Chain A
Amino acid sequence: QQQVKQSPQSLIVQKGGISIINCAYENTAFDYFPWYQQFPGKGPALLIAIRPDVSEKKEGRFTISFNKSAKQFSLHIMDSQPGDSATYFCAASRRAGNTGKLIFGQGTTLQVKP
């Protein structure tokens, strides 16, 4: 019940295309859903995050769509660029009685072809 399942494992997109990565969770107590971007040999960096009281959040070319009833959320990267090539991780955590421990998905390696 603590798992976060992420798909696909890898993704190849043409420059200018839309990259879509999906995550699903079981624990309905989760109330914070961030996405991280990680380049090889670097630590993850927060890209965008959402709380379950909204269904969508957009920041620049990055959008999170959240479906509370389906317990799913996804990351959409519009106008994908070669510089977006990285590994993306979704995560989930809950606030109440918790230190903010994140449960990570398995990761998606994105390659954007020029």
Chain B
Amino acid sequence: GAVVSQHPSRVICKSGTSVKIECRSLDFQATTMFWYRQFPKQSLMLMATSNEGSKATYEQGVEKDKFLINHASLTLSTLTVTSAHPEDSSFYICSASGVAGGSYNEQFFGPGTRLTVL
């Protein structure tokens, strides 16, 4: 199946700093990428949907100025958490879907990034 990677897998930062998380589709072109956050023992919450070369569409309640998403190529999307605070500590997961990545609507998920803000 299609492979999606995330980097870093784990990051610890100080309050007020910005953190960038990369999501890459390794063996297919991802026309659409999704960013989720997941709190312990909870479901995945969609933050935003991004299409290559266009602005991301954010879900209601997600601050677009705080969570900057860039989908600059068909294999790379980045999520930048700006001025991170302890409440931003969470598990961030990306997924990707594309023409060669499987059947329609199939999303392939990355391994996740654990963000801890001190």
Contacts and interface: CB of A to CB of B under 8 A. Distances in A.
A104 B43 contact: yes
A106 B43 contact: yes
B107 interface: yes
Contacts, number: 59
Interface string B35-59: 0000001111010010100000000
A101 B93 CA distance: 14
Interface string A53-96: 00000000000000000000000000000000000010001010
Interface stretch (B11-19, B72-80, B82-90, B108-116): B108-116
B105 A93 contact: yes
User: Which of B32, B42, B44, B97 counts the most A-chain CB atoms under 10 A from its CB?
Assistant: B44
Interface of A: 32, 34, 36, 41-46, 49, 89, 93, 95, 99-102, 104-107, 109
